[in-house]
């Protein structure tokens, strides 16, 4: 690439492609330079270091999180929409979820995304302290589940099930007999469908908060107070 055409925006755009193809851990100055057809040292003219590059990319990715809320639906439905939108974006960039959990929020987009979630919870009538807890719990579920899913990419259900069977069959009879409850679950525990686990866990989380705080105000379009779950 012609150096005269380089800019911070072009650097970040190319870095997005690298992160999508190689995962966030594969986003290095060398990989980015190769993508742009320049030397690694040239990249440093626009970003201070790899951490600064990762933060800029994470902030840019944050713009993609655009949940669709429905004012006529309950707070749980809209919080669920937020969680699904956040997860969908994180999954496009393997390793991003783990990076954000270890490095913390990056840029103004992280604050915008939190604001979207917090607004839905606060509008339901939760006290700020409880709303903060709800938001933290939902975010923790989304980010940790994506991090786990990232560690098992590409998903290979049949391979995971075979490994689970092999693990169970490799246990001694004494161990199996000593832990009957675990034996009842068997290989199923180790070969759960990630999509189903995410959805059911999220539903249970939201249903739990809705049940614990029945005074949370449902939306105008949900007069009977149902949670929509």
pLDDT, one tens digit per residue, over 179-219 is 888 888 877 787 788 899 999 999 999 999 999 988 776 55
Crossing angle for the helix pair 108-123 and 128-150, nearest 10 degrees?
130
Residue 19 CA to residue 50 CA, distance in Å, equals 13
Q: Which domains does the chain have, with CATH numbers?
A: 3-62 (1.10.10.60), 75-212 (1.10.357.10)
| First-last CA distance in the chain | 51
pLDDT one-digit tens code per residue, 126-178: 999 999 999 999 999 999 999 999 987 765 666 677 777 777 788 888 888 89
Which among 165, 201, 200 is positioned nearest to 185, based on CA atoms? 165
pTM: 0.84
Of 188 and 118, which is predicted with more confidence? 118
Q: Which two tokens stand for residue 110?
A: 């992280």
SS3 content of the chain, % helix, strand, coil (to 5): 70, 0, 30
Q: What pLDDT sits at residue 215?
A: 78
């Amino acid at each position: 690439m012609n150096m005269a055409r380089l800019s911070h925006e072009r650097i970040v755009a190319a870095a997005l492609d690298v992160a999508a193809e190689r995962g966030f851990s594969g986003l290095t100055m060398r990989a980015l330079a190769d993508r742009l057809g320049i030397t690694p040292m040239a990249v440093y003219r626009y970003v201070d270091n790899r951490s600064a590059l990762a933060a800029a990319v994470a902030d840019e990715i944050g713009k993609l999180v655009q949940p669709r809320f429905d004012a006529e639906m309950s707070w749980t439905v809209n919080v669920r929409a937020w969680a699904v939108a956040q997860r969908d974006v994180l999954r496009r960039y393997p390793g991003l979820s783990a990076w954000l959990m270890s490095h913390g929020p990056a840029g103004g987009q992280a604050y915008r995304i939190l604001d979207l979630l917090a607004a839905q919870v606060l509008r339901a009538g939760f006290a700020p302290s409880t709303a903060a807890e709800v938001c933290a719990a939902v975010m923790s579920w989304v980010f940790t589940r994506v991090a786990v899913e990232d560690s098992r990419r590409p998903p290979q259900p049949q391979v995971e099930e075979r490994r689970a069977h092999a693990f169970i069959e490799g246990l001694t009879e004494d161990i199996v007999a000593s832990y009957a409850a675990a034996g009842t679950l068997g290989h199923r525990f180790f070969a759960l469908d990630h999509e189903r686990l995410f959805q059911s866990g999220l539903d249970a989380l939201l249903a739990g908060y809705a049940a614990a705080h029945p005074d949370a105000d449902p939306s105008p379009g949900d007069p009977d107070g149902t949670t929509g779950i």
